[in-house]
Amino acid sequence: MYRVDLNCDLGESFGHYSIGMDSKVIQIVSSVNIACGAHAGDPLVMERTVKAARLSGVAVGAHPGYPDLQGFGRRNMGLSPKEAAAYVTYQVGALQAFCRQQGITMQHVKPHGALYNTAAKNQDLAYAIAEAVNAIDPTLILMGLAGSESIKAAKAVGLRTAEEVFADRAYEEDGSLRARTKPDAMIEDEEEAVRRVVRMIKEGRVTAVTGKDIPIKADSICVHGDGEKALLFVKKIREALTAENIRIAPLGN
């Protein structure tokens, strides 16, 4: 039987600022990536988000990002791989403490935003992150863009990996995401988006923006909980997966 993980970023509120429909989306995914206080989140938000994850029975991942709250971790920063790895270590550790307090084990680490995108292409950064995560706990799973340098580096250092795919994004022939600044970057038609995801899981293939079919591994699908429309799309994906006999479950064993 086929299976796949549904993951969503969570715990992105900060102090007085609240964003995301965390309490709703947590009910319909299998894994969550929790912000760790650098690009979003704070200790109180992390504490209650980890607790909510435990109560909802979803698997927890750390979602470390660049130390840039004003830019929400989406602006590139000229950190050396060594610096970036130390920031990742810091954030993963901080979230692990809340996991231990809740009696749960962290499942995975998924870098956020600009860090995710840069690590997907930059081998040195990808290795530095993978080695840092491996040195913290070799049972952690590294989640990254399917087929990217992040995944290759994680495998090379001996970590388990979760290759992540996007339902609503177009792919280039080399497996990278088509930049949002280019035309046809988004899959606007929800039915098509769902069909593409099902095919990625069952056939391991997706049609690139050029029309050519490329191989892709889909361990986890990235979904969003930042609005009613996003939630409805997650439900549509869930229904399609169920109808196709694809089991939705965390990455675990």
Least CB distance from residue 246 to a copy of itself, whole Å? 33
Sign of the C-alpha dihedral computed for residues 15, 19, 22 and 23 taken in this order: positive
Residue 86 as a binder of a copy of itself (CB under 8 A): the answer is yes
> Is the Cβ of residue 93 or residue 105 nearer to a copy of itself in the bound state?
93
DSSP label at residue 9: E
Contact 198, 241 (CB under 8 A): yes
| CA 239 – CA 250 distance, rounded (Å) | 17
Residue 185 as a binder of a copy of itself (CB under 8 A): the answer is no
Least CB distance from residue 128 to a copy of itself, whole Å? 12
Instruction: Among 2, 24, 43, 179, indicate the residue that binds a copy of itself (CB under 8 A).
Output: 43
Residue 228 as a binder of a copy of itself (CB under 8 A): the answer is no
Count how many residues are written for the chain.
253
Least CB distance from residue 107 to a copy of itself, whole Å? 16
Residue 209 as a binder of a copy of itself (CB under 8 A): the answer is no
Residue 124 as a binder of a copy of itself (CB under 8 A): the answer is no
| CA 112 – CA 41 distance, rounded (Å) | 12
CB atoms under 10 Å from CB of 90, counted, come to 15
CA 233 to chain centre: 17
DSSP of 35-64, one letter per residue?
E-SSSS--HHHHHHHHHHHHHHT-EEEEE-
Least CB distance from residue 39 to a copy of itself, whole Å? 9
Least CB distance from residue 230 to a copy of itself, whole Å? 16
Residue 159 as a binder of a copy of itself (CB under 8 A): the answer is no
> Is the Cβ of residue 115 or residue 170 nearer to a copy of itself in the bound state?
115
Instruction: Among 37, 65, 144, 147, indicate the residue that binds a copy of itself (CB under 8 A).
Output: 37
Instruction: Among 4, 29, 132, 159, indicate the residue that binds a copy of itself (CB under 8 A).
Output: 132
- In the region spanning residues 234 to 253, those forming contacts with a copy of itself, defined by CB under 8 A, are none
> Is the Cβ of residue 53 or residue 216 nearer to a copy of itself in the bound state?
53
Instruction: Among 23, 101, 210, 242, indicate the residue that binds a copy of itself (CB under 8 A).
Output: 101
The count of C-alpha atoms lying within 13 angstroms of the C-alpha of 44, restricted to the half-sphere facing its C-beta, is 6
> Is the Cβ of residue 101 or residue 210 nearer to a copy of itself in the bound state?
101
The count of C-alpha atoms lying within 13 angstroms of the C-alpha of 103, restricted to the half-sphere facing its C-beta, is 3
| CA 94 – CA 217 distance, rounded (Å) | 30
Nearest to 238 by CA among 46, 28, 76, 14: 28
| CA 117 – CA 114 distance, rounded (Å) | 5
Residue ranges binding a copy of itself (CB under 8 A): 14-17, 19, 37, 40, 42-44, 46-47, 67-72, 74-79, 82-83, 86-87, 89-98, 100-101, 114, 132, 135-137
